[in-house]
Amino acid sequence: MPGGQYQVASIKCHHSLYSLTDSSDVGPEEEEADPPLRLTPLQKLTVDMCKDEKTIKELIIGRRVGFYKVRGEIGYGTFSRVKLAFHALTRDKVALKILDRMRLDAQAQRLLSREISSMESLQHPNVVRLYEVVETPSRLYLVLEYAGGGDLHNRICNEGKLSDSISKITFAQVLSAIKYMHNINIIHRDLKAENVLFTISGCVKVADFGFSTRVSNCNNALDTFCGSPPYAAPELFRDDCYLGPPVDIWAMGVLLFFMVTGTMPFRAETMGKLRRCIMECSYTVPPWVPGPCQRLIKGILKAAPSERYAVDQMLGCDWLLPVEFPWVLVPPEPASPPQSPGSSEPSDQEEVEEEIRGSLEELGVTVEHLRNNQLKDSRSPVTGLYRILLHRAQKRRGCDCLPVVRGMVRDPKREGLRAYRGLRHTSKFCVLS
């Protein structure tokens, strides 16, 4: 039975994988005697998934996955397909990254579990959220925050380089995401324009954590080549091991160069020439790039990782000085930190929790469901529902607002860069030798 894992109390659906039962469950005998039920939206959905012919058919043909209704195609990756979907109860749009288990070799499986584990610990306005993981015998589905504004690579290829102000706003958000990741010892290792997504309102969302890794501290050496060659730091070609943060920072330098010029700093017809070009750190910043931005690029793109700017130097550079960040970083879910002593006002997080509890209750999620699920297991539909509502509440409080540049002037003239169009960068993974 396709929806069998989503059974709720008082509903005769067997074969439970994820039980949504609570302590008010009744046995089949008692069920016979029950008066007609007024079902909550959650109960109605789970009953439909077990008994409604149309819903079951949709589950079988892939028009539904768990609690999500699948809609149009978004795109393809090496191992994945990404589709647009929405939550059947909340109607929120999500991106469904679909992976065929048969196509995943041992290495791809390892990378996928890293992707899931990194994303589970990340909660930042500029990082794509993972709401839920749905598993079937043949497929794995990552339910992700939907970023409907396309990616930075396509934007530049279609519209040309970004204006100085838009570059500042975009780069500042990527920088904020990277600072947050590095603070919790996660290294992205595949930062590139293709992995910088936008929401419809232009908020940056760093995506694709397939090559990410968590180190016990940021001074731990790594030895796997990850990422896309045009964004790879010289030490990845030169040394047997490398430190994580400077490699992400180098990629940010390449990204910044690309944003403000519409071209890549290191270009060559062959891999060997590209490698040489990067190792010699041979690039030229066009003279029309504003001085403060030139200085930032040159501070980042330095061959020796120890001489490269650190994240905090980048945040404090002249070029980013006019940027005002509107948000406070969102605390991790789901436990509330203790309130400050003597404070009688509910904290912002307590208010958010209260709001979500109310919404969950309206949908039919009981306190007991929440107790059973702990809201930490990404493979639970209750966690998915909780995370979607949490994010919605945070967005209402402005967590997805854009930074502003004081005295911002938009650059309406954008060159088309036909030559660059279509040259998406493919990422690679191998052990350095």
Give me the DSSP letters along 49-90.
HHH-HHHHHHHHHTSEETTEEEEEEEEE-SSEEEEEEEETTT
Instruction: Pick the closest to residue 42 from 382, 393, 392 (CA basis).
Output: 382
Neighbours of 284 (CB within 10 A): 7
Beta carbons of 400 and 82 less than 8 angstroms apart:
no
The single residue among 12, 16, 75, 332 that binds ligand ATP, judged by CB under 6 A, is 75
Q: Interaction with ligand ATP in 169-228: which residues (CB under 6 A)?
A: 194, 197, 207-208
Q: Which of 48, 151, 164, 190 is catalytic?
A: 190
Beta carbons of 73 and 95 less than 8 angstroms apart:
no
Q: What does residue 97 show for φ and ψ, rounded to 5 degrees?
A: -90, 120
Q: Is 151 in the site for ligand ATP (CB under 6 A)?
A: yes
Please state the closest distance from residue 207 (CB atom) to ligand ATP, in A. Answer: 5
d(CA 97, CA 425): 19
* Residue 236 vs residues 71, 273, 375: alpha-carbon distances, Å: 40, 15, 39
Q: Closer CB to ligand ATP, residue 21 or residue 80?
A: 80
Q: Closer CB to ligand ATP, residue 146 or residue 386?
A: 146
Please state the closest distance from residue 274 (CB atom) to ligand ATP, in A. Answer: 19
Q: Closer CB to ligand ATP, residue 325 or residue 429?
A: 429
Q: Closer CB to ligand ATP, residue 97 or residue 391?
A: 97
Please state the closest distance from residue 77 (CB atom) to ligand ATP, in A. Answer: 2
* Residue 68 vs residues 86, 201, 300, 360, 394: alpha-carbon distances, Å: 5, 24, 42, 17, 21
Percentage helix, strand, coil for the chain under 3-state DSSP, each rounded to 5: 40, 15, 45
Please state the closest distance from residue 242 (CB atom) to ligand ATP, in A. Answer: 20
The single residue among 65, 144, 278, 399 that binds ligand ATP, judged by CB under 6 A, is 144
Total residues at the site for ligand ATP (CB under 6 A)?
20
Report the run of H or E that residue 238 belongs to, with start and end: helix 234-238
- State which amino acid sits at residue 148: G
Stretch that binds ligand ATP, among 33-41, 74-82, 279-287, 364-372 (CB under 6 A): 74-82
Report the run of H or E that residue 99 belongs to, with start and end: strand 93-100
The single residue among 7, 10, 55, 80 that binds ligand ATP, judged by CB under 6 A, is 80
Q: Closer CB to ligand ATP, residue 90 or residue 347?
A: 90
Instruction: Pick the closest to residue 388 from 335, 334, 337, 338 (CA basis).
Output: 334
Per-residue b/e over 249-281, b at no fewer than 16 CB within 10 Å?
bbbbbbbbbbbbbbebbbeeeeeeebbebbbeb
Q: Write the interaction track for ligand ATP spanning residues 25-64; mark x where CB under 6 A is met and - where it is not.
A: ----------------------------------------
Q: How do strand 221-222 and strand 242-243 relate by DSSP bridges?
A: antiparallel
Q: Is 77 in the site for ligand ATP (CB under 6 A)?
A: yes
Please state the closest distance from residue 79 (CB atom) to ligand ATP, in A. Answer: 6
Give me the DSSP letters along 296-352.
HHHHH--SSGGGSPPHHHHHTSGGGTTEE---PPPPPSSSPPPPPTT--SPPHHHHH
Which residues does the annotation place in the binding site for ATP?
Answer: 97
Please state the closest distance from residue 383 (CB atom) to ligand ATP, in A. Answer: 18
Q: Closer CB to ligand ATP, residue 75 or residue 337?
A: 75
Tokens of 354: 């209260």
Q: Closer CB to ligand ATP, residue 66 or residue 364?
A: 66
Q: Interaction with ligand ATP in 334-393: which residues (CB under 6 A)?
A: none
Q: Closer CB to ligand ATP, residue 75 or residue 316?
A: 75
Task: Specify burial of residue 429 (Cβ count, 10 A radius: 0-12, 13-18, 19+).
Answer: middle
Is 348 known to be catalytic?
no
Q: Is 76 in the site for ligand ATP (CB under 6 A)?
A: yes
The single residue among 167, 349, 380, 427 that binds ligand ATP, judged by CB under 6 A, is 427
Please state the closest distance from residue 6 (CB atom) to ligand ATP, in A. Answer: 24
Instruction: Pick the closest to residue 219 from 198, 200, 234, 241 (CA basis).
Output: 241
Q: Is 149 in the site for ligand ATP (CB under 6 A)?
A: no
Please state the closest distance from residue 192 (CB atom) to ligand ATP, in A. Answer: 9
Which residues does the annotation place in the binding site?
Answer: 97
Catalytically annotated residues: 190
Q: Which residues bind ligand ATP (CB under 6 A)?
A: 74-78, 80, 82, 95, 97, 128, 144-147, 151, 194, 197, 207-208, 427
